[in-house]
Amino acid sequence: MTDQTSAPSLMGKQPQVPGQPGPVPVQPGRVNFFTRIALSPRLHEIFERMPLMRRVTRREGEALFDVVSGFVQSQVLLAVVEFRVLHILAGASWPLPALAERTGLPETRLAVLMQAAAALKLVKFRRGLWQLAPRGAAFITVPGLEAMVRHHPVLYRDLADPVAFLKGDTEPELAGFWPYVFGPLAQEDAGLAERYSQLMADSQRVVADDTLRMVDLRNAKRVMDVGGGTGAFLRSVAKQYPELPLTLFDLPHVLAVAERFSPKLDFAPGSFRDDPIPTGADVITLVRVLYDHPDSVVEPLLAKVHAALPPGGRLIISEAMAGGAKPDRACDVYFAFYTMAMSSGRTRSPEEIKQMLEKAGFSKVSKPRALRPFITSVIEAERG
Ligand SMILES: CC(C)=CCC/C(C)=C/CC/C(C)=C/C=C/C(C)=C/C=C/C=C(C)/C=C/C=C(C)/C=C/C=C(C)/C=C/CC(C)(C)O
Ligand SMILES: C[S@@+](CC[C@H](N)C(=O)[O-])C[C@H]1O[C@@H](n2cnc3c(N)ncnc32)[C@H](O)[C@@H]1O
């Protein structure tokens, strides 16, 4: 695979150490040289007195403080979103008293929030007025991002006791937030599929943009998006390839709320757990599907996709992927814990996905360099 890390295999049931081919014994005293330095408070003091080293320790200190305070930063952002501060400032610049009246917050407390938001570079204070900063403007412009932030309290409640969470002693709320995974619940509540689909569809735009910049569909004869929700990804495909026939495969109650946005779009209702994947497409896409499911669902799904493709047909997988030997802040922290809280799936590294693909019979597995790994990564494979 191109652009490939030597990521660990987690294919067996036994978790392994990133970058290591297999389980290794504990090695007493094996601590990296720089780590040993960092372990010595006396050396911290000495470094503080050396101008060059002082810069390194201060930078490390700042980075560490960022990790320590990450939750508070997120909650400041959530408050900014809930009080619609960025939207208010998008229309005009406001003095604090007027903003306090508009948001209904006491001036003294709003001042603290605004100062925090300014430290996060979401807003800025100029000539007595609070203004929107470019980062705040970008934030409200990214499709689905505000809705994502507004649903984070569910995730944070699940992570409130990380010890109990990791021991598996809690019942994460997030597992119920996406009840489509459990099928019947979503079918009982028609509005539920629609709400979930809207959040997914909103956030899909950025994922689709990045995916389509990493793959070439010019030679495709028909693209089928499996687990395609209400068709947001195919909508982006249709914009770029207006002549390309498309098939949307998802659960019947999800397709019931999907809009037929193109005469070239076919609906294929079904469950990839229980039904075969229909044939007829030479390109099948799985966008943000695999990480929702355990290996016991993913392995048969890949085999069904393989069976549905013609020889030479292509599978495109797009989702946030774990970093493996090169741990990634977005994927190995946020998405890994997010999917663990969902209790049904997990993030996988490109290497793990490659191994699963090869087991299902795929060849020529490749991975274009991800444009924004925190949005998505892509793996392509071919049916030989
Ligand atoms: C030129 C100079 C010096 C200055 C210019 C200043 C200026 C104009 C700056 C603005 C620049 C600009 C245009 C910035 C644009 C920034 C963008 C596009 C930022 C995008 C950020 C996207 C983010 C943060 C995305 C976050 C995504 C999240 C949190 C996704 C979560 C997804 C989940 C939980 C999915 C779950 C799926 C499931 C359920 C697991 O299946
Ligand atoms: C995380 S969403 C991704 C949706 C879309 N691909 C996107 O990126 O926005 C997972 C999708 O898989 C669908 N799905 C889950 N289980 C399924 C099954 N057994 N058969 C077909 N689709 C399923 C869900 O309905 C949902 O639309």
Q: Three-state DSSP class for 366?
A: strand
Regarding whether 233 and 91 lie in a shared domain, the answer is no
Q: What is the mean pLDDT of residues 187-210?
A: 76
Q: What share of the chain is helix, strand, coil (3-state, %, to 5)?
A: 50, 10, 35
Residues with Cβ within 8 Å of residue 63, at least 6 apart in sequence: none
In a domain, 314, yes or no: yes
Q: What is the mean pLDDT of residues 115-144?
A: 97
CATH code for the domain of 111: 1.10.10.10
What is the best residue among 148, 178, 211, 250 to mutate for testing ligand 2's pocket, by most ligand atoms within 8 Å of CB? 250
With a pLDDT cut of 90, the percent of the chain lying above it is 71
Regarding whether 224 and 100 lie in a shared domain, the answer is no
Q: How far is the CA of 139 from the centre of ligand 1 (A)?
A: 7
Regarding whether 374 and 346 lie in a shared domain, the answer is yes
104 C-beta neighbours (distance < 10 Å), count? 8
User: 329 is in which domain, residue-wise?
Assistant: 147-383
In this prediction, residue 136 carries a pLDDT of 98
pTM score, whole prediction: 0.89
In this prediction, residue 141 carries a pLDDT of 95
In this prediction, residue 179 carries a pLDDT of 61
At which of 111, 141, 171 does a domain end? Answer: 141
At which of 141, 165, 195 does a domain end? Answer: 141
Regarding whether 359 and 258 lie in a shared domain, the answer is yes
**Pair 339, 165: CB distance under 8 Å:** no
Number of domains, the chain: 2
User: Where does ligand 1 bind, in terms of residues with CB under 6 Å?
Assistant: 134, 138, 142, 145, 148, 178, 203, 288, 291-292, 338-339
Regarding whether 199 and 106 lie in a shared domain, the answer is no
CATH code for the domain of 213: 3.40.50.150
In this prediction, residue 372 carries a pLDDT of 96
As a whole number, the mean pLDDT across the chain is 90
Beta strands in the chain (DSSP E): 123-126, 129-132, 223-226, 246-250, 265-269, 283-287, 314-319, 362-366, 377-383
**Pair 363, 18: CB distance under 8 Å:** no
**How confident is the model over 262-279, as pLDDT tens digits?**
999 999 999 999 999 999
pLDDT above 60 (res 331): yes
At which of 88, 123, 141 does a domain end? Answer: 141
In a domain, 132, yes or no: yes
Residue with structure tokens 């992570």?
159
Q: In whole angstroms, what is the distance from residue 334 CA to residue 159 CA? A: 11
- The residue among 343, 352, 340, 341 whose CA lies nearest residue 377 is 352
In this prediction, residue 37 carries a pLDDT of 84
What is the best residue among 206, 210, 233, 348 to mutate for testing ligand 1's pocket, by most ligand atoms within 8 Å of CB? 206
Q: In whole angstroms, what is the distance from residue 290 CA to residue 357 CA? A: 12
Residue 324 exposure: Cα atoms within 13 Å on the Cβ side:
20
Regarding whether 217 and 291 lie in a shared domain, the answer is yes
Tokens of 10: 């987690």
Regarding whether 165 and 115 lie in a shared domain, the answer is no
Regarding whether 332 and 357 lie in a shared domain, the answer is yes
* CA-proximal residue: ligand 2, atom 6 (nearest): 228
Tokens of 275: 């039904």
Regarding whether 325 and 300 lie in a shared domain, the answer is yes
**How confident is the model over 82-107, as pLDDT tens digits?**
999 999 999 999 999 999 999 999 99
Regarding whether 212 and 129 lie in a shared domain, the answer is no
